Amino acid sequence: MVIEEKEFGTYSDGTKVKLYTITNRNGMSISVTDLGAALVKALVPDKNGVAADVVLGFDRAEDYLDNPSFFGVVIGPSANRIAGASFEIDGCTYRIDVNDGENNLHSHRTEGYHKRIWKAEVQEDGVIFMLEDNGSMGFPGKKTATVRYALTDDNELILRYHGDCDRKTILNFTNHTYFNLDGHDSGSMEEHELWLGASRYTPVAPGAIPTGEIAAVEGTPMDFTTPKTVGRDIRVDFEQLELTGGYDHNWVIDDWDGSLRCFATVRAPKSGRIMKAFTTLPGVQFYAGNFIDEQKGKEGAYYGARGGLCLETQYFPDSVHHSEFPSCVFGEGKEYCSETIYKFEY
C-alpha cells in the first residue's frame, strides 16, 4: 500500500488543508482530506482495466467550504433530520439549528463536522481522522470522534467510525459520498442498477421527517429487493416520491443485528463496474441526487440532478423521537462504533 500526502488548499482561518492518497496493488486509489474527513476521489478500474474517478467532488479545499450538496464529507454529530430542531434526553430539552424548514438537517450547515479540520494520522493501510467537540451546535457533552479510511487489495474501501461523549447525546455519523460508477463526469446515473437488502423503509411526512411507520416496500416503487435501474420507477405517481422529489428515504436493512452484512449492490451497465456495500448499521439513506444544484466539479465537469447516488449508512432519521426505532443516543460509557465497506468489482 502506498500513501502520499500533499497540500489541497487553505481553510478559512489560513490552515493548510491536506490530501492523502492511498493506492493498492491493483491500481485502485482513494484520496481523502482532513477538511470534513471527506472522500475526494476514488479511482476504480473497469472491466478493461481503465480507471475512472467514481465519486463527485472538487479539485481544491476551498470549494468544500461551500459544498451545498455535501459531496464526500463525514456528517456529525447527527446525520439526517431531527424534527422540530430539538430533542429530549432524560428530561432535558436541547434545541439545535433550524436549517431545513422547521427541522434540523445534518447538525449544522456551517459548524457541522463536515466543515471542520480533523486531525489526521497516517497508518499502514489508511488514514485516521480525529475530532474533539465540546458541546457545540446545541448537542450536549464533550465528544470525541474518529473516522478511519482504509483500502485493501481486494478493492474494499473501509470506513470505521468511533465516538464517545461524557454525557448522553446523539451520535449518528455517516458519509455523504455521491457515486457514479461510470465516472464522476458521466451525467445521470439513472441507468445504474440497484439491489437493496431491505424489504421495509420508513415513510416520511412533508419535510421528509419519518412518520414512525415501518412499511413494506413490496408492491411499491420503493422495492429494490429485486434489482432494477434507479430511473425505472423514480417518476411514478407515488406520494412518497413526490414528497422528496425522487428517492431520498431510509431503508431498513433486513435482519439487522449489529454484524457486518451486505445491504446493497450497484451495477453500471456502461462501464461494467459493480459496487457492493456492507454495514453494521440498521439503516441506509438511499438518495438519488434529486436536488444536486448545477455546479462545476472536478476537472471542469458539471454536475446536476441525479449525477450521483448516495448510500448513507445510519441510524434512522429522527430516531430520537421514535422509541420503536434503534436508538442513536450514546455517551456516559456507551460508545458509538460502526463499520461500512464499499467493495468495487467488475
User: Which residue of the set 184, 192, 312, 322 is catalytic?
Assistant: 312
312 labelled catalytic: yes
Residue partners of 273: CB distance under 8 A and separation at least 6: 44, 46, 47, 54, 181, 182, 267, 344, 345, 346
Residue partners of 132: CB distance under 8 A and separation at least 6: 142, 143, 144, 145
321 labelled catalytic: no
**Whether residue 206 has a cis bond before it, omega within 30° of 0:** no
User: Which residue of the set 162, 176, 184, 192 is catalytic?
Assistant: 176
Q: How far apart are the first and last CA of the chain?
A: 21
Residue 292's identity, in one-letter code, is I
HEC string for 51-75: EEECECCCCCHHHHCCCCCCCCCEE
Identify the DSSP state of 190: T
How far is residue 174's CA from residue 336's CA, in Å, rounded to a whole number? 12
How far is residue 158's CA from residue 231's CA, in Å, rounded to a whole number? 28
CA angle 1, 310, 285 (to 5 degrees): 120
Active site residues: 176, 312
